[in-house]
Amino acid sequence: MASQRQLEQQRVDQVIVEIKQQLKQAKKEYEKAHAETSSVEKNYLQNAKVNTTEVDDRMETNAEIQQQKQLVAKNIQTEQILKEQLETLKDLKKSPYFGRIDIQDPDETSPESLYIGTASLSDEHQNFLVYDWRAPISSVYYNGTLGQVEYETPAGRQETELLKKRQFKITDGQIQNMFDTSETVGDELLQSVLDEHSDEYMKNIVATIQKDQNDIIRDTNSDLLLVQGVAGSGKTSAILQRIAFLLYHSRASLNADQIVLFSPNLLFSRYISDVLPSLGEKNMRQVTLHEFFSRRLQGLKVESLFNHYEKQWQLTEAEKELNEEKKTAEFMAAIKDYADHLTASDLCFTDISLHGKILFSQAEIRQLYADQPVQMTPGHKFAAVKNQLIKKLNKLVKRKARSTQIQDQLEDMSSEQYLTLLGDKTKESFHSYDEERDYLGHQLASQQYEVIYDALYNDFFFDSYEQYGKFLQNKLPESAAGYSLALEYHQIALADCAPLLYLRDLVTAGGKNHRIAHLFIDEMQDYTLAQLIYLKHVFGAAQLTLLGDSEQALYASAQRPQALLENIAQTLDARKANLKLLNRSYRSTKQITDFMKAMLPEGENIQAFNRPGNRPLVCQVSTDQAALKALTKHLNASAAKYSTVALITKTMAESRQLYDQLRRDLPVNLLTEQDRSLPQGIAILPIYLAKGLEFDSVIVNNVSQAEYSSSEERGILYTICSRAMHELTLISQGGVTPLIKQIDPELYTLEQTLPVK
C-alpha cells in the first residue's frame, strides 16, 4: 500500500499544479473584472453628482446614469462569478478530492479511474481530473459495492462494473489517510470525521455520505419526501447536500432563490449557513415559522413556537383542548367550507377614506361583490371587485389630473420636482406639450392617491381579523373572547395564525407564491397539520421535503413514521409520497446513543455507530447548593477539554436563573431566541433553541422525578441528551426521573452525593 500511496500522492501533486495554474489565471481575470467594476462605478458616481441647471441636460444625464447603472450590475455579476470560481479552486487546492472509483463499462476494454471531489476540475484539454460529487457517475462511489452496479443518468439507467473504491483524507495537499473498501463509504473515514470536535458552523459531509443519505439526496421524483431520522442520523446534513444536488441537477431551470428552508430557530439558520457556500452554491432562502407568520401579519405580535412551548405548562386542560382543535386538518376544512359559503352580507368590508372623506363605502363594496356571478369562487369574486375599485380610482385620478388644483401645482413646480415626475421618460417621449402636461398631471394626481392604491392592492377594504373572529364565534365560541382580547393588544396566538391566514387567502385569492420550486421543513414534528396545510396552500407549486424525528417532538406526541406519512400525504394530497428512514445515529458516541435509545419504547430500532466513549454520568445530589456545585465542577471540566459545551434546560426561565447563578464563577453565555450565532465555550440555553445543534459536551440540568414526572416529557429529555457528541452529564436534585430509572444501570455511571441516613 506504501507504493500505491506514493503514486496517489504524486497524482495529488500533479492535480494541485494544475489547480495553481488555474488559480493564477482566475486571479488575473478576477482582478481585471474588479478593476472594470471600480471604473464603471466611479463613472456612475461622477455622473450622478453632475449638477446641471438646464432640464434638458439633466434628462440626458439621467439616461446616461440608467445605462451605467445596468453596466455596473452586469460587471458586479461577472466579478461575483469569478470570485466564486476562485474560492472553489482555493478549496480544491487544500483537498482536491476524497474518493476514487475504478470502473469498466461493458463496451470498454480497459478500466478507468475516476476521482470524486466537492467540485469538478478539468484540464485545458477538457479531461476530467476530478468529478463533482453530484455527477451521475459519482453515485457509484456512494451506493455501489464492488461488482456490477447501476446508476441513473439523464439518458436513463447505465450499467458498469465497479472494480475498486478508494477513500482519501487529504489536508493541505497531503494524503493523511487512504484505504480501499468493498462496501459503501467506509466506517474508518467516518470514524475520523466524527472524532473531530464540534464547531460554530456545520461542515459539509460529501466525503462521508452514506447510502441511505445518498438516496434522499438524489430523489428527484417525489412530490412529498418525508425523512424520519433518529437524533444524530444526519438528516439536516443530507437535506443540505440534497439542496446542493438539486441546484446541480436542475441548474438550467432552478436557482437558490426558488428554494425555501423553514428552520427551527435563528441559531440553527446561522449554524448551517456555511454548508452550501462550501460546495460552491448560493444559500437557499431561510425563514423560521415565526418570521413567516410575522411578515404576513404585520402590525401584530405573533406568538413564537418558543413562547407557545413556555406557556403550555400554565394552560388549563380546556385551553389545551381548544388549541389542539385549531391544529387539526378538520379545523382547516371547516375554514375552507366557511369561506366557500360566505355571502356579500357576511363579509367584513370596511370604508376606504382619504383625509377623512370616504371614497368607497362598505355598502358600495358589498354591492359590487353581490353583483358578481353566483358560480364564481369567493376569491374570484373578490379579485373582480378589487379590479372594479381600481378602475373607479383610475377614473377619479384622471378627473383630478385635469383639475385646476393640479394644473396650478404644475405651474409652481421646480426643475427638481419636474425631473422626479418624469421618472424614466425624457422630453422626446412626448409628441406635444399637451401630452406632456397630461402625463405630468396624471403622475401628480396618482401620487396624491398613492395611499389609496396601496390600500386596494393590499386588500385593506376587507377586515380578515374580524372575519376570523366571526368564524370562531360560530365554530369555537369558547375561543373567540381570548382571540378578541389578544387582538386589542395587537397580539395573536400561534394556533390562530394558519387558520386566519388561510381564511384571508381563500377570500381574497391572495397569499400564494408560485415561484418556489422546493420547500424544505426541518423539525417537522413541531409543525401542526393546520400549519402544513397552509404552507402547502402558499407554496402550491413546490415539491415538499419534510424532515424530523417524532421522538423529538416537544409540542406533541410521537407518531409511527408510516402512519405519519399516510396522514400527511392524504392531508396534502400528495401523489408521489416517499418515506425514507435514517435509523443509524452518528453524532454521539455508542455509549451516549445506547443510553438515549434505552429511554424510548421502540429504541431498539436505533443503531449506534461504533464510536467509543465514556458512559453518560448521572450525578445525584440532595440540595440546591450541591446541584450548583456539581454543575460548576462538570462545566469547568468540560470547558477544559472541549470547544463547545452546553448546559441545556427545559425552559428559558430555568436558563436565566442558572446564568445568574453561574456567571460570577464561569465564562457562560446565555442564548435567547434573538441570538443568531453560537459562541465558543459554555452556552446556557433551553432545549427548543438547541434543536438541530450539537455540542462536544452536554450537561442536563435537574433530571429529577419532580422535574420529569410524566412520560409525556420523554421527548424533551431524549432531545436534550441527543445534542451531545462526546460527553453527557445529567444532574438530579433528589430522586432521578423514572425515565432514567427504568434504564439498565450498566448503561450509565451513577455518582451520588446524598447525605448518609
Q: For 105-131, what is the HEC assignment?
A: CCCCCCCEEEEEECCCEECCCCCEEEE
Q: Are residues 64 and 139 in the same domain?
A: no
* Mean predicted lDDT score pLDDT of the chain: 89
Q: pLDDT value at position 445?
A: 81
* Residue range 394-406, pLDDT digits in tens: 999 988 888 888 8
Comparing 213-227, 491-505, 674-688, the range with the smallest average pLDDT is: 674-688
Distance CA 704, CA 84 (A): 52
More confident residue, 412 or 226: 226
**pLDDT attached to residue 192:** 63
Task: Name every residue whose Cβ is closer than 8 Å to that of residue 671 and which is 6 or more positions away in sequence.
Answer: 267, 655, 678, 679, 683, 684, 685, 689
Asked if the structure places residue 295 within a domain, the reply is: yes
How would you class 718 by CB atoms within 10 Å of its CB: exposed for 0-12, middle for 13-18, buried for 19 or more?
A: buried
Give pLDDT, residue 163. 94
Are 245 and 392 part of one and the same domain?
no
pLDDT at position 1, please?
63
- Residue 435 confidence (pLDDT) above 60: yes
Is residue 215 assigned to a domain? no
645, 743, 751, 630: which is closest to 690 by C-alpha? 645
Domain that holds residue 144: 99-184
Extract the C-alpha cell encoding 312: 403550555
Question: 750 and 618 in contact (C-beta within 8 Å)?
Answer: yes
CATH number at residue 320: 3.40.50
- My answer on whether 168 and 258 are in the same domain is no
Whole-number pLDDT of residue 72? 66
Q: Do 579 and 228 touch, CB atoms closer than 8 A?
A: yes
644 inside domain: yes
229 is in an annotated binding site: yes
Do 178 and 81 have their domain in common?
Answer: no
pLDDT value at residue 204: 75
Burial-class residue 373 by CB neighbours within 10 Å (0-12, 13-18, 19+). exposed
Residue 525 covered by a domain: yes
Please say if the pLDDT value at position 479 is more than 50.
yes
**Confidence class of residue 756 from pLDDT cuts 50, 70 and 90?**
very low
Q: Which are the contacts of 443, defined by CB distance < 8 A and separation ≥ 6?
A: 421, 423
Q: What is the pLDDT at residue 55?
A: 44
234 annotated as belonging to a binding site for a ligand: yes
Instruction: Report, as an integer, the average pLDDT of 560-567.
Output: 84
Closest CA to 602 of 618, 617, 581: 581
Percent of the chain at pLDDT > 70 equals 91
Query: Is the predicted pLDDT of residue 59 greater than 60, yes or no?
Result: no
SS3 141: helix
Inside any domain, residue 337 = no
- Known binder of ligand: residue 130? no
715 carries a ligand binding annotation: no
Among the three residues 157, 184, 211, which one is the final residue of a domain in this structure? 184
The verdict on 576 and 614 lying in the same domain is: no
424 inside domain: yes
CB 557 within 8 A of CB 526: no
Closest by Cα among 653, 695, 689 to 673? 689
pLDDT, tens digit (0-9, with 9 covering 90-100), for 147-199: 999 998 888 899 999 999 999 999 999 999 888 887 655 556 666 666 666 66
Q: Hey, which of 154-168, 389-403, 466-480, 565-579 has the most confident mean pLDDT? A: 466-480
Question: What Cα–Cα distance (Å) separates residue 434 from each residue in 118, 431, 440?
Answer: 64, 9, 10
For the chain, how many structural domains are there in total? 5
Q: Please report the DSSP string for 575-643 in residue order.
A: SSEEEEEE-EE-SS-HHHHHHHHTTSTTGGGPEEP----PPPEEEEESSHHHHHHHHHHHHHHHHHH-S
320 has pLDDT over 70: yes
* CATH number assigned to the domain comprising residue 683: 3.40.50.300
Pairwise CA distance, residues 206 & 192, whole Å: 14
- Cα–Cα dist 350/211, whole Å: 58
Residues 166 and 280 placed together within one structural domain of the fold: no
pLDDT: which is higher, 60 or 390: 390
593 and 615 Cβ atoms separated by less than 8 Å: no
Q: Please identify which residue in the block is written with the cell numbers 446542493.
A: 244
Whether 230 has a binding-site annotation, put simply, is: yes
Q: Among 43, 77, 94, give the residue marking a domain's end.
A: 94
Q: Average of pLDDT values for 41-50?
A: 57
Tell me, yes or no, whether 302 and 322 share the same domain.
yes
pLDDT given at position 436? 74
- Helix or strand holding residue 453 (H, E): helix 450-457
66-76 confidence digits (pLDDT tens) = 566 666 677 77
Give pLDDT, residue 205: 73
User: Are residues 243 and 370 part of one domain?
Assistant: no
Do 565 and 625 belong together in one domain? no
Q: pLDDT digits over 282-316, tens only?
A: 999 999 999 999 999 999 999 998 888 888 878 88
Q: Name which of 76, 82, 80, 81 is nearest 26 in CA terms.
A: 82
Task: Tell me if 189 is assigned to some domain.
Answer: no
Give per-residue pLDDT as tens, 575-633: 999 999 999 999 999 999 999 999 998 888 899 988 999 999 999 999 999 999 999 99
All three cell numbers of 116, joined, read 470524486
Mean pLDDT on 430-454: 82
Would you say 236 is a known binding-site residue? yes
The reported pLDDT for the residue numbered 188 is 60
- Among the candidates 94, 117, 150, a domain finishes at 94
Same domain for 573 and 446?
A: no
Minimal CA–CA distance to 135: which of 73, 72, 217, 203? 217
Instruction: Evaluate whether residue 416 is within a structural domain.
Output: yes
Across 476-491, average pLDDT:
96
Residues 357, 393, single domain; the answer is yes
The pLDDT of 383-395, averaged and rounded, is 96
Do 387 and 245 sit in the same domain of this protein?
no
Q: Is 585:232 a contact under the CB 8 Å cutoff? A: yes
